[in-house]
Amino acid sequence: MQEKLTSLEEAIAPICDGDVVALQIMATYMAPMALVRELIRQNKKDLGLVVLIGGIAVDWLAKAGVINRLIGAAVTMEQFGLCQQYRKAVEQGRIRVEEISESVLNARLGAGARGLPFLTTRGAIGTDLMKENSDNMKMLDDPFGGMPVMACRALVPDFALIHAHRADRYGNIQYEPGARWPDLAIMPKAAKHVVVTVEEIVDSEVLRRHPERTVLPGFKVDAVVEVPNGAHPTSMYPNYGYDTQFHREWTSVSRDDEKATEFIDKYIRSPASQSEYLELIGSEERLQYLQEWEGKR
Partner 1 sequence: MSLDWENSPASTDYSVEELVICVLTEQFNNGEQATNGMGSFIPVAAFMLAKKTHAPDLIWLASSIGLECRPERIPASTLEAPLWRDSIMYLEQYSDFWDLVSNNWITKFCVGAAQLDQYGNANNSVIGSDYHRPKVRLPGTAGLADLCSLNKKLYYWNLNHSPRTLVEKVDFISGAGYLDGGDARERLGLGDGPQLVVTNLAVMDFHPDSKRMRLKSVHPGNTVEEVQQATGFELLIPEEGVPNTKAPTQAQISLIRDVIDPDGMRNK
Beta carbons of 142 and 150 less than 8 angstroms apart: no
- 79 makes contact with partner 1 (CB under 8 A): yes
- 185 makes contact with partner 1 (CB under 8 A): yes
Binders of partner 1: how many residues, by CB under 8 A? 59
Site pattern 250..269 for partner 1 (x: CB under 8 A): --------------------
- C-alpha dihedral sign at 250, 251, 252, 254: positive
- Nearer of residues 254 and 274 to partner 1, judged by Cβ: 254
3-state SS, residue 202: coil
The torsion angles phi and psi of 15, rounded to 5 degrees, stand at: -70, 125
Binding-site member from 28, 172, 214, 229 for partner 1 (CB under 8 A) = 28
Binding-site member from 31, 75, 194, 195 for partner 1 (CB under 8 A) = 75
Beta carbons of 5 and 172 less than 8 angstroms apart: no
Type of residue found at 248:
R
Distance, in Å, from the CA atom of 41 to the CA atom of 64, rounded to the nearest integer, reads 9
- Nearer of residues 40 and 107 to partner 1, judged by Cβ: 107
Only segment of 36-44, 127-135, 168-176, 283-291 that touches partner 1 (CB under 8 A): 127-135
Site pattern 201..240 for partner 1 (x: CB under 8 A): ----------------------------------x-xx--
Tell me the C-alpha to C-alpha distance, in Å, between residue 294 and each of 83, 240, 246, 297. Answer: 26, 8, 18, 7
Distance, in Å, from the CA atom of 278 to the CA atom of 287, rounded to the nearest integer, reads 8
Binding-site member from 6, 7, 76, 251 for partner 1 (CB under 8 A) = 76
Q: What one-character-per-residue DSSP string does 29-56 give?
A: B---HHHHHHHHHTT--SEEEEEEEE-H
Contact residues: partner 1, CB under 8 A: 26-29, 53, 72-76, 78-79, 82, 86-87, 90-93, 96-97, 99, 101-104, 106, 110, 121-129, 132, 147-148, 177-182, 185-186, 235, 237-238, 241-242, 244, 293-297
